[in-house]
Each structure stands twice: as C-alpha cells, then as structure tokens.
Amino acid sequence: MEIFVESIDKGIWDTIKNGHFVLMLENDKVIYEKPWSQWIEHESKKAQYDCITKNIITSTLSSDEFFRVSQCESTKEMWDTLEVTHEGTNDVKRARKHALI
C-alpha cells in the first residue's frame, strides 16, 4: 500500500502516517487555525491530501473493512484502525518477533 500511495504523491503517504494538514497561525501569542479562505494554493493542496487518501483507502476495502473505518475522522485514524486490526498492537508485534527468534 505504501508503494502504491507514494507513487501517486509522497505527500499522501505523509498524511497517512502523520495525520492531516492543519495550518496554524500565531498572533499575539494566541494560536489559531488559519481560515480556509486565506489559504494559498500549496496549502490547499496539502489539505486535500486527506480527502484523496480517504478515497484511496475506502475504495480498496471490502464492505466489512469499510464499516470498520467508516466512522473515522481522518486517514491517520483509518490507517491506525486497519493496522491494529491486521497486525495487532506494538506489544503483539513484539511478541511475534520474539516468538520467531
């Protein structure tokens, strides 16, 4: 999946692993989200990666898998849910490695 997504755009894979892009500004030591109407082109493109990635992930899933992630807000949350479902938690992965050794 990583190879497929990176072949489309490396920024999309970054969205899966690190979460969606949120542009924050600081004014008088107050941090707030920059209004969408003020975004420039490259900021909009980075924000759209989450939508593109949701489409990629959901279009490749079976109906059972789709229902598992349909309530997720972001692609990172979808990916993490699928990862735990199919690979287990980090403790489970570590136990499997030790068992193989």
More confident residue, 3 or 38: 3
Closest CA to 19 of 97, 78, 63: 78
Residue 49: CB atoms within 10 Å: 20
Give the integer Cα–Cα distance in Å for 35 and 27. Answer: 14
Give the integer Cα–Cα distance in Å for 1 and 28. Answer: 43
When pLDDT is averaged across residues 40-62 and rounded to a whole number, the result is: 85
When pLDDT is averaged across residues 25-37 and rounded to a whole number, the result is: 78
Q: What is the pLDDT of residue 45?
A: 82
* Residue 39, pLDDT above cutoff 70: yes
Please answer whether residues 76 and 20 qualify as being in contact, where contact means their C-beta atoms are separated by less than 8 angstroms. Answer: yes
Closest CA to 17 of 82, 65, 70, 86: 82
Mean pLDDT rounded to a whole number for the chain:
82
pTM of the model: 0.67
